[in-house]
């Protein structure tokens, strides 16, 4: 499926073959890091001559497929939680959509999967905002319907760091063994980054469904407080 869509983009000059080896790209990235400057792909393979391409093909050099980012435009999308988010096309490199081994990259695969499954809302962590711009470009290039995007705040431990095993239980089964009731866990998790308004803290799943609105989710990260969960339980 992915190969078929990648070939469509190649035919329409919205993508191009890239013969640059990982070794060369790694060297360039490291050099930029040492020189304390940002790095993005220099489009070397976009400007290869016909003769150069023929030579590389003859030599059997592995090739990936890169998406040709329209750098002259500003990209804008309206996030359900964060509102208007904007980025210049110049700040997005021509990213790989199909690796040299034929496997698709995350941004390419998820756009095709979501479009074919008719996904209407993409709800995910705030860390994915940078990916959203690349994905919108792909939705447009493939003439797919663009879904609504909502980027949720992260759940942090009391130390302000991303929730992980060092903060304690991370599996629902572990909470079950500790005697935490499903109703309490659902109630507590619903309140991480969202509030029904007023003083209401204890509610059933049915009430949460009636009250919940994506638009009311907070932009700031939530803190997971185990003592509060125990109190609720």
Are 132 and 140 in contact by the 8 Å Cβ rule? The answer is no
d(C-alpha 194, C-alpha 212), whole Å: 8
Sequence-ordered alpha helix ranges (H) in the chain: 2-11, 22-34, 50-58, 106-116, 129-141, 172-177, 182-190, 205-211, 226-232
Q: Who contacts 54 (Cβ-Cβ below 8 Å, separation ≥6)?
A: none
Are 185 and 229 in contact by the 8 Å Cβ rule? The answer is yes
Task: List, by residue number, the catalytic residues.
Answer: 165
What is each CA distance from 66 to 38, 40, 138, 199, in whole angstroms?
A: 19, 13, 12, 52
What is each CA distance from 45 to 28, 40, 50, 165, 171, in whole angstroms?
A: 15, 13, 11, 44, 46
d(C-alpha 181, C-alpha 233), whole Å: 6
Nearest to 17 by CA among 109, 39, 54, 28: 54
């Amino acid at each position: 499926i992915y190969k078929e869509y990648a070939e469509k983009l190649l035919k329409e000059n919205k993508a191009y073959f890239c013969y640059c080896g990982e070794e060369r790209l790694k060297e360039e990235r490291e050099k930029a890091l040492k020189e304390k400057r940002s790095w993005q792909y220099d489009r070397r393979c976009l400007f290869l001559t016909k003769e150069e391409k023929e030579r590389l093909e003859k030599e059997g050099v592995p090739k990936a497929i890169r998406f040709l980012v329209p750098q002259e435009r500003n990209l804008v999308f309206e996030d359900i939680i964060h509102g208007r988010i904007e980025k210049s096309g110049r700040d997005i490199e021509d990213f790989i959509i199909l690796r040299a081994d034929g496997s698709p990259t995350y941004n390419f695969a998820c756009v095709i999967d979501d479009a074919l499954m008719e996904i209407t809302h993409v709800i995910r962590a705030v860390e994915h905002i940078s990916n959203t711009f690349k994905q919108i470009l792909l939705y447009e290039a493939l003439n797919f319907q663009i879904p609504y995007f909502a980027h949720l705040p992260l759940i942090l431990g009391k130390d302000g760091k991303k929730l992980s095993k060092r903060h304690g239980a991370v599996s629902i089964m572990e909470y079950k063994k500790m005697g935490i009731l499903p109703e309490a866990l659902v109630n507590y998790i619903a309140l991480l980054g969202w509030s029904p308004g007023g003083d209401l803290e204890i509610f059933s799943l049915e009430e949460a469904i009636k009250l919940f609105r994506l638009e009311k989710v907070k932009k700031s990260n939530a803190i997971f407080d185990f003592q509060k969960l125990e109190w609720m339980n």
